[in-house]
Amino acid sequence: MISGWLLLAACTVDPSDSQAPMDSEPPGDSQPVDSGDSEPDDSGDPPDEQGFAVLSLNLHCLETGGTEYSTNADRFAAIAEAVVAEGVQVIALQELCETSQESASALLEQALEDASGLVWSLTTTFAHVGWEGTADEADEYVGLAVQGSFLQEREIEFHLQDGLRRVGVLGRWDAGFAHIAVSSLHLDHQHAAARLGQARQAAVEALVTASSAHSLVLGDFNATPGSPATLAMQAMGFEDLGAELDDDRIDYVWAHRGAPVALEDFERIFTGERWPEVSDHPGMLARLIPRQPVELSLTTVTVQHHATGRYLAVRGDASPLSWEAGWPASVDGDHWTAVFTELDEPFEYKWLLDDADWQTGDNLQGQPGQSNDQTVSFE
């Protein structure tokens, strides 16, 4: 099934960045994080379920240049062949494009089902028109494809935008041993400040969506390892599964340190070696195996505020919070939520409109491992 909207963008790294909600309710007070999907296992042994592989792939829109394929039907058939052979069950897609003549979503979904004999669900969200005014003009989307179906899915509309509109898409997927929130992202390629804000919001959205630390975030960050956007993910407890590659890649697979999966193997794919090149980006392939999740406590901060055309962010005095820059919150109507796993002591915090205008009054007092719900006002 295909649901969603559409997208495209260039993928060059900004030299200035060479530095280093779903339907579920936020967790209540002092809630330790576990799978939430089965009775706790006190044996200490890992779950007895089979692992799976995930893939992040920027498709370079509908371009076949630089590949050995003359048509996108052939190109996507080759991708599907590799997906089946490698045991991939989750694919995060960027630059998933559509014109009046051709739809990457339709071609890829058909290729996956033909190659696997299984049902795949593909959900997409529109980002912007790419290559506008040229012969290659197309609507560009970000997408997620999974074997089976999503429990929930939604768009991330990033609060910080500068130039081409950037989005992400999330869904909750049943891995058999746990429900895992999976995100596919394509961050700003030109503006470092927007890219950092988008990465910060993506980390928050992933934890809010999962209502736990059971989260994977994949995609094209347009930022190299050690850049501010990737350091933001690490500050929120996400681990770069491709860290051993030690290269200048801009595509990632992140797993939260509390997720019920462990890394078995990580590699680039579609490099022209085992599998042909299918895009101007190699794919990032992670093979994951089940494990007992690390017990973490969620700290939630929430506020009710009507902010049409604006957004709320939270700053504070305990890492990963700081007083210098905020973490954009997830919004559902007038309800704003941010979730953290790395706060382990009492903290002070404040809400800001557009991460610029401070709430009035004294600092708010927060407690780790609890839901901190306050009323605030702005001048």
- Say whether both 87 and 143 belong to one domain: yes
Q: What is the pLDDT of residues 137-191, one digit of tens each?
A: 999 999 999 998 888 899 999 999 999 999 999 999 999 999 999 999 999 999 9
352: closest CA among 374, 333, 326? 326
- Say whether both 167 and 218 belong to one domain: yes
> Domain containing 341: what range?
297-374
Q: Is residue 11 part of a domain?
A: yes
- Say whether both 56 and 144 belong to one domain: yes
Q: What is the pLDDT of residues 230-254, one digit of tens each?
A: 999 999 999 999 999 978 899 999 9
Helix H segments across the chain? Answer: 72-85, 104-116, 192-210, 228-235
Q: Is residue 40 part of a domain?
A: no
CA 39, CA 61: separation in Å to the nearest integer? Answer: 44
- Say whether both 192 and 328 belong to one domain: no
- Predicted confidence (pLDDT) at residue 334 exceeds the cutoff of 80: yes
Query: Of 290, 314, 341, which residue sits at a domain end?
Result: 290
Pair of tokens at residue 189: 């390629």
CA atoms within 13 A on the CB side of 105: 26
- Say whether both 145 and 266 belong to one domain: yes
- Say whether both 117 and 216 belong to one domain: yes
Query: Of 290, 321, 352, which residue sits at a domain end?
Result: 290
Query: Of 256, 290, 324, which residue sits at a domain end?
Result: 290
- Predicted confidence (pLDDT) at residue 375 exceeds the cutoff of 70: yes
- Predicted confidence (pLDDT) at residue 296 exceeds the cutoff of 90: yes
199: closest CA among 258, 247, 250, 151? 250
Across 47-56, 72-81, 265-274, 357-366, least confident range = 47-56
pLDDT of residue 17: 46
Q: What is the CATH number of the domain that holds 329?
A: 2.60.40.10
- Say whether both 281 and 364 belong to one domain: no
Q: Count other Cβ atoms within 10 Å, centred on residue 245.
A: 14
Q: What is the pLDDT of residues 196-208, one digit of tens each?
A: 999 999 999 999 9
Q: Is 341 left (phi over 0), alpha (psi -120 to 50) or beta?
A: alpha
How many domains in the chain? 2
- Say whether both 245 and 121 belong to one domain: yes
| Strands 347-353 and 357-358, bridge-based pairing | antiparallel
Average pLDDT of every residue of the chain: 89
- Say whether both 360 and 255 belong to one domain: no
Residues 6+ apart with CB under 8 A from 222: 11, 12, 13, 14, 17, 186, 187, 188, 189, 195, 229, 250
Q: Is residue 37 part of a domain?
A: no
pLDDT of residue 49: 67
Q: Is residue 379 part of a domain?
A: no
Our separate counts of H helices and E strands in the chain read 4, 24
According to DSSP, the residues that pair with 265 across neighbouring strands are 287
Angle between helices 192-210 and 228-235 (to 10 degrees): 20
- Predicted confidence (pLDDT) at residue 48 exceeds the cutoff of 50: no
Give CA angle at 161 (155, 163), nearest 5°: 115
CA 250, CA 258: separation in Å to the nearest integer? Answer: 24
